[in-house]
Amino acid sequence: MSNSYTSDILKPFKLKTKQQELLIRVLILCLVYILAFITRLFSVLRYESMIHEFDPYFNYRTTLYVTQHGFYDFWNWFDYESWYPLGRIVGGTLYPGLMVTAALIYRLLHFLRFAVHIREVCVLTAPFFASNTTLVAYFFGKEIWDSGAGLVAAILIAVCPGYISRSVAGSYDNEGVAIFALLFTFYLFVKAVNTGSLAWGLASAFGYFYMVSAWGGYVFIINLIPLYVLVLLITGRYSMRLYVAYNCLYILGMLLAMQIRFVGFQHVQSGEHMAAMGVFFLMQVFYFLDWVKHMLSDTNLFQEFLRITVTCAVAVGGIALGVGMASGYISPWTGRFYSLLDPTYAKDHIPIIASVSEHQPTAWSSFMFDFHILLFLFPAGLYFCFKRLSDATIFIVMYGLTSMYFAGVMVRLILVATPAVCLISAIAVSATVKNLTVLLRSKTKVAQIGSTKGTSSAKASSKASLDQSQPFQKNGAMALLFGAFYLLSRYATHCTWVTSEAYSSPSIVLAARGAHGNRVIFDDYREAYFWLRQNTPLDAKVMSWWDYGYQITAMGNRTVIVDNNTWNNTHIATVGRAMSSYEDEAYEIIRSLDVDYVLVVFGGVTGYSSDDINKYKLSYYRFGEMMTEYGKPPGYDRARGVEIGNKDIKLEHLEEAFTTSNWIVRIYKVKPPNNRW
C-alpha cells in the first residue's frame, strides 16, 4: 500500500513519456557537457594552470597583447622581437579567431566582475570549446540521423582521445577553437541544405567566417563542401535547397573571409579555393538549365541544348583557369596542400614540413590509440548511412572518408577526422542499440498482448511467426546489448587512461619516474627562460633552433632570430647552418645576425632524446666531467646510450653562460671579437 501512497504524492510531478525523454536528454547533455570539460583538466591537476607546448605560447603572448592594447593595435602589431632583424607583422600573419575569442571571454568575465587572469582564460578556452563541440555534435547527429545518435555522438566526442589530444587545458592552440567552428559550420550547412532556408545558409556563412578566422584548416571546408555539392549534382540530387545553401555560404562566406588579413584575396586568387569557385559557376549553369528545361517542353531540344551548354561552360571554365594560372593571377597550390595529396611530396621538396613530427604519416597504432572502438564502429556506421541515404548522410560519409584519408597522411589531421568518426560511429551505436531494444521490447509486448488480449491475436500471431524464424532472439539481443555496453565502457576507460597518461603533459615541464618510483619533474625550460629574462640585457638577441622561439619571446621576453612560425626558410637555414658549422664559420654568421646568446637543448643527462644534438659541441661542452649514471664512466650520454669520445671540448668564440639544473637547456654567451686581432 505504501507504493501506491508514494505514487499518489508523486502524481503531480509525474511527467508524460515525451517530457521524461526530454528531461533525460537534457540531463545527459548537461552531464556530457561537464564531462567534456573536466576530463580535460588532468594537466591542470597534475602540473599547474599553464600553457603547453610551443605554439600556444605565441597565442598566449598575442592574446595578452590584445587584452592590453586593444584590437586595432593587435591588428597592426609589428613584432620586432621575433625574426630579428626582419620582424613579423603579427596582425597580418595569424588567424586571430582564437585570440579574439579568448579576449572576449576575458572581457565578459571582467564585465561580470570575475577578476580572472588572462592566462586562466587561455588555459581553459580549449576545454570550454570542447564542451561546446559536444552540443554541436548532438545537434549534428540529430540532423543526420536522430536524437539518439546525437546523444551518442556527443558522448563519444566528449572523451575521444583524437580530439582531447588538442584540447586539454593549457593546449591553447587554434585547433581547440577550430574543431568547434568546423563542426558548427558543417552542421549549419547541412541544416541549410536540409531546410533550404536562407537564414541557415547565412548562419553557415558566419560559421565559416569564424572558422576562417581561427584556423588554416578552413581550406578543408572550402574544398569538402564543393566536392559534396558536386557529388549531389552528379547523383541527381540537385535541388533548390542545395542551390540556396551553397550560394549563400560561398558568396557571403568568401566576402567575410576576405576580412581576415592573413587570408585576404586567396579565395579568388589561390589554387586551393578554385574548386569552390568552379562549383559555384556550375551551380549557376545547373540553375539556368533547370530554367530552360522548365521553359522548353521538348526533351530532344533540351538534350541538344544541354550538350552545347555544358561543353561551352566546361570550355570557358577551363580556359579561365588556364589563363589565370598562366598569368600568375591564380597562385598554384601550396606545398602543404600538395603534401596532403601526395604524402611523399614534402619529403622531397619541403623538408621543413616533413621534419615536424606531427606532419608524419600516421602509424596504425595511433589510429587505435586515438579512436579505439570507433575504428570498427566507423565502417558499421558507414553501412547504416548507405542504407538510409539522404543529403545529410551523404555529407557525413564524404566528410568521414576524406578526413580519414587526410588523417592517414598526417598525424595531426586525426583531429579533423575525429568529429566525423564520432558521428558515424554514433550512428552505428545508436542504430544497433535501437534495433536491439526494439526487438527486446516488441517481443515482451507480443507475449503480453498474446496472453491478455485475444482480439489482436491475428496480428500478434503474425509477428510471432516472424519472430519464430530467429530463435534465442531475446537472449541474443540481450547479449549483444551487453556486448555493446561493455565495449562502450571499455572505450570510456581507454579514453580516460589515454588522456591522463599521454595527452596531459605540458611538454614544457618534463616528468619522469625516479629510481624509487617517485615522480621527478624537470622544469629546466622555464628555469632557462627565467634566467634569460632576469640576467640578459633587454635588447639581447637569442639564437636557438626554431622550436623554442615562441617560448623564448613569451617567457624570456627576449628577441629571437627564428621561431615556430616558419615563414622564412632562408632565415631558418642560416640559423641551422650557424648551429651545425665549425665554430669559426658559425661565429661569422652569429655576428652578422647580432646574436648575443645561443641556446641549445641537450638531453644527455636526463635521457631526453628530442634535443639539438647536432650542435654537439655546445651540448657536450664540459660534459666529460659529468657523472650521469651510476656505474657508467663520466660523460655517458643517456639519450644515446654511449660514452662521448671527446671529453675536453674547448670553445673559442662562445662561453657558457647558464646551464639548467638537469642540463636540458644550455645558454652560451657570444664573446666580442678578439680585442687585439
Partner 1 sequence: MGKFWVIFVASISILLPFLCNSFSPETPTDRRVLVLLDDFAVKSSHSSYFNSLKLRGFDLDFKLADDPKIALQRYGQYLYDALILFCPSVERFGGSVDVAAIINFVDSGHDLIIAADVNASDLIREVATECGVDFDEDPSAMVIDHTGYAVSETEGDHTLIASDDFIKSDVIIGSKKIEAPVLFQGIGHSLNPVNSLVLKVLSASPSAYSANPLSKLSTPPSLTGSAISLVSVVQARNNARILITGSLSMFSNRFFRSGVQKSGSSTKYEKSGNEQFLTELSKWIFHERGHLKAVNVKHHKVVETDEPALYRINDELEYSVEIYEWSGTSWEPYVTDDVQVQFYMMSPYILKTLSNDKKGLYSASFKVPDVYGVFQFKVEYQKLGYTSLSLSKQIPVRPYRHNEYERFIPTAYPYYGAAFSTMAGFFIFSFVHLYNK
Binding site for partner 1 (CB under 8 A): 72, 75-76, 78, 80, 84-87, 89, 539, 559, 592-593, 672-677
Least distance in Å: CB of 257 to partner 1?
17
**CB-based contacts of 188, cutoff 8 Å, min separation 6:** 200, 203, 204, 207
Shortest gap between Cβ of 92 and partner 1 (angstroms)? 8
Contact 418, 178 (CB under 8 A): no
For the bound state, the minimum distance from the C-beta of residue 243 to partner 1, rounded and expressed in Å, comes to 18
| Nearest distance, CB of residue 259 and partner 1, angstroms | 11
- b/e per residue, 448-471, with b = 16+ CB within 10 A? ebbeeeeeeeeebeebeeeeeeee
User: CA–CA separation, 331 vs 488, rounded Å?
Assistant: 47
Q: Counting every residue, how long is the chain?
A: 677
Question: What cell does 530 get?
Answer: 627565467
CB closer to partner 1 out of 475 and 674: 674
Kindly state the smallest distance separating residue 323's Cβ from partner 1, in Å: 20
Whether 137 and 43 have beta carbons less than 8 Å apart is answered as: no
Which one, 593 or 601, has the nearer CB to partner 1? Answer: 593
Tell the smallest beta-carbon distance from residue 245 to partner 1 (Å): 21
Helices and strands (H and E) in the chain: how many = 30, 11
Q: Which of 79, 102, 82 is nearest to 90 (CA)?
A: 79
Q: Considering the complex, state which of residue 519 and residue 676 has its C-beta at the smaller distance from partner 1.
A: 676
Q: Rounded to the nearest whole angstrom, what is the least distance from the CB of residue 77 to partner 1 in the complex?
A: 9
Comparing CB distances to partner 1, the nearer of 92 and 196 is: 92
Residue closer to partner 1 (CB basis): 76 or 448: 76
Distance CA 478, CA 437 (A): 8
Cα of first residue to Cα of last residue in the chain, in angstroms, is 107
Q: Is the Cβ–Cβ distance between 46 and 506 less than 8 Å?
A: no
Q: How far is the CB of 543 from partner 1 (least distance, A)?
A: 14
Alpha-carbon separation of residue 430 from 134, 176, 370 (angstroms): 16, 27, 21
Q: Which is nearer to partner 1, 76 or 344 (CB)?
A: 76
C-alpha cell at 31: 552531464
Q: Which amino acid is at 73?
A: D
Instruction: Look up residue 372 and give its amino acid.
Output: H
- The least CB distance from residue 559 to partner 1, in Å, is 8
Closer residue to partner 1, CB minimum distance, 501 or 539: 539
Q: How many CB atoms lie within 10 A of CB 257?
A: 22
- In the bound complex, what is the minimum distance in angstroms from residue 176's beta carbon to partner 1? 27
CA 18 to chain CA mean position, Å: 37
DSSP structure string for 153-165: HHHHHHH-HHHHT
Task: Find the shortest distance in angstroms from Cβ 68 to partner 1.
Answer: 16
Q: How do beta strands 541-543 and 597-601 pair?
A: parallel
Q: How many CA atoms lie within 13 A of 277 on its CB side?
A: 17
Contact between residue 420 and residue 396 where contact means Cβ atoms under 8 Å apart: yes
Query: Rounded CA gap, 266 and 273, in Å?
Result: 7
Q: How far is CA 314 from the centre of its chain?
A: 36
Longest dimension (CA), the chain: 115
User: Shortest Cβ distance from residue 595 to partner 1 (Å)?
Assistant: 13
Helix or strand holding residue 666 (H, E)? strand 665-670
Closer of 259 and 609 to partner 1 (Cβ): 259
For residue 295, give the H/E element and its range: helix 274-295
| Smallest distance from partner 1 to CB 89, Å | 6
* Burial class of residue 33 in the structure, from the number of CB atoms within 10 Å of its CB (0-12 exposed, 13-18 middle, 19+ buried): middle
* Beta carbon nearer to partner 1, 31 or 86: 86
For 504-659, where are the E strands, in sequence order? 510-513, 519-522, 541-543, 559-560, 597-601, 636-637, 642-643, 654-659
How far are the Cα atoms of 280, 302, 317 from residue 311, in angstroms, in the given order?
17, 14, 10
CB of 204 to partner 1, least distance (A): 23
